[in-house]
């Protein structure tokens, strides 16, 4: 089985749009979530998994729209995933 981090790095390396500054936070969030899922193994929580899936969907939008994914600040998209991650870790929500 391929680790989430390894698969994510293949995805990130496949398109130069992932290296532009506007996508840096989203790529960083995806890497953090992938690392946490790999670290947890079969015990990864459904909340972490859902946050990762949400972030991956935002990452996919980068390739279909050709630009950084806009966020509204209303808790949607990668901002919502970051809020979920922070609540899991006991931090403040976005």
Encode pLDDT of 56-66 as tens digits.
999 999 888 76
Residues above pLDDT 70, as percent of the chain: 68
Whether 94 is covered by a domain: the verdict is no
Q: How high is the mean pLDDT of the chain? A: 80
Whether 48 is covered by a domain: the verdict is yes
Whether 39 is covered by a domain: the verdict is yes
| Of residues 62, 71, 69, 52, the one with CA closest to residue 5 | 52
Model pTM?
A: 0.68
Q: Which domain holds residue 74?
A: 4-89
Largest CA distance in the chain: 36
Is pLDDT of 46 > 70?
yes
Q: What is the pLDDT of residues 69-80, one digit of tens each?
A: 555 544 445 555
User: How many domains does the chain contain in total?
Assistant: 1
DSSP 8-64: HHHHHHT-GGGGSGGGHHHHHHHHHHHHHHHHHGGG--HHHHHHHHHHHHHHHHHHH
């Amino acid at each position: 089985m391929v680790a989430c981090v390894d698969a994510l790095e293949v995805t990130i390396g496949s398109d130069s749009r992932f290296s532009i500054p506007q996508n840096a936070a989203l790529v960083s969030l995806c890497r953090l979530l992938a690392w946490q899922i790999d670290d947890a193994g079969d015990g990864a929580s459904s909340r972490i998994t859902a946050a990762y899936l949400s972030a991956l969907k935002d990452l996919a939008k980068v390739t279909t729209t050709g630009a950084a994914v806009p966020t509204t600040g209303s808790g949607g998209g990668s901002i919502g995933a970051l809020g979920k991650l922070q609540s899991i870790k006991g931090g403040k929500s976005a």
